[in-house]
Amino acid sequence: MKKVLAWILSFVLMFGCMGIYPQKGATASAEGDATEETQETSPAVEISAPSAILMEASTGTVLYEKDADTPRPPASVTKIMTMLLIFEALEHGDIGLQDEVTTSEYAASMGGSQVFLEPGEVQTVETLLKCISVASANDACVAMAEYICGNEEEFVRRMNERAKELGMENTNFVNCNGLDANGHVTSARDIALMSRELITKHPQIRDYCMIWMENITHTTAKGTSEFGLTNTNKLVRQYEYATGLKTGSTGEAKFCVSATAEKNGVELIAVIMAAENSKIRFQDAVTLLNYGFGKCQLYEDSEMPRLEEAEVKGGVRESVPLEYSGTFSYLDTSGANLNQIEKKVEMKEDISAPLKKGDAVGRIVYTLEETELGSVDIIAAEDVDKAGFTDYFKKAGDAWRL
């Protein structure tokens, strides 16, 4: 009897191991895989708009995206590129803030959101910039386009040229203000790219897009009158970390926004496209921004090691001063202890002439728990020519006199 029971038990165990009976370990593993897959494919946050992206400004890191590359009408978010070109013209000295701009009949004819400029009316560049950034004025956009390029068509050509330079692959501008037009499209990712360029290269945009209300003065043949500007971006008043940037809405585009915000040194760009109404676009933007601020911490090295001069072999000079090619920043989304980041200067063993200013001769490397996070080049701060026969002869003479 004992032999029969032993045989039956062996039979059960053998077929159980072959899979006739479910194994507890295999079930647990399968559940673990399923959970892991859900975590990877499920979005971290839920938003209503069909197209969106969240980007960290200093590094360009994308923290969230949803259908971010589909070309869609952008409405007045177009004006981010218009303002970028205005600020670049100011930077290059092509125009000045106090330059006077005369409104053409064509500029005054723009519909949609406007400040009701009249043909022949004169406003300064700074006033028109306020009209664009605060009140989203279509007429002011065209007036500035004509002032910078002579006509809107040439300005739009420059807009598209600049878009290509920024890697905006799904963008085609037809006008400078965002009024619905056939073929006038961009994507959430492309909006983030041009927003990043504007806010990082021209931070003075905040001086304009953060204005809540301000009056401008119309002076025309009819006399003088005050006109009130009110910001179309309600986040300026409703979200404590808001820094800008631009809203837009038309029948085709629905409701869009590029919302920028900064907290604890982290600056984010949340782009929402084609939301069903204004309330939803702002809710979605805030949801993304809050998610990003909860996920991000930024490390920036404000105390890079002082660099000594480096020895140069075979040069007219025996050493060269050094400098860093830039600063280092690292965006963490894992909750790591950034106080444990280590940095180490690594120099080339053999630095020989000729050297050109800007040539890399080493680097400073940043690591966290033995993982390299990035580096910054150490470069020559001056040229060093290769020594010739007369240089060696002179050196020998100097040595002999000593």
> Quick one: tokens of 215?
């009056």
Q: Which tokens sit at 204?
A: 């003075």
* CA-CA-CA-CA torsion sign (150, 151, 152, 155): negative
* Beta-carbon count within 10 A of 192 CB: 27
Options 79, 130, 254, 295, the catalytic residue: 79
Cβ neighbours of residue 235 closer than 8 Å, sequence gap 6 or more? 242, 257, 259, 261, 282, 285, 286
Phi, psi (rounded to 5 degrees) for 69: -115, 5
298, 328 contact by CB (below 8 A): no
Q: Positive or negative CA dihedral for 325, 327, 330, 336?
A: positive
Quick check: is 79 catalytic?
Answer: yes
Q: What DSSP element (H or E) covers 24?
A: helix 24-41
Number of residues that make up the chain: 402
User: CA 207 to CA 36: how far, in whole Å?
Assistant: 46
Burial class for 5, CB neighbours closer than 10 Å (0-12, 13-18, 19+)? exposed
* 343 catalytic per annotation: no
User: Does residue 104 carry a catalytic annotation?
Assistant: no
CA torsion through residues 285, 238, 277, 230, sign:
negative
Distance CA 284, CA 280 (A): 6
Tokens of 134: 């605060």
Amino acid type, 34: A
Q: Which residue in 144, 65, 135, 47 sits closest to 104, CA to CA?
A: 144
Catalytic residue among 51, 113, 136, 187: 136
Q: Kindly state the tokens that stand for 238.
A: 């409703």
Pick the catalytic residue from 76, 113, 195, 249: 76
Catalogue the active-site residues: 76, 79, 136
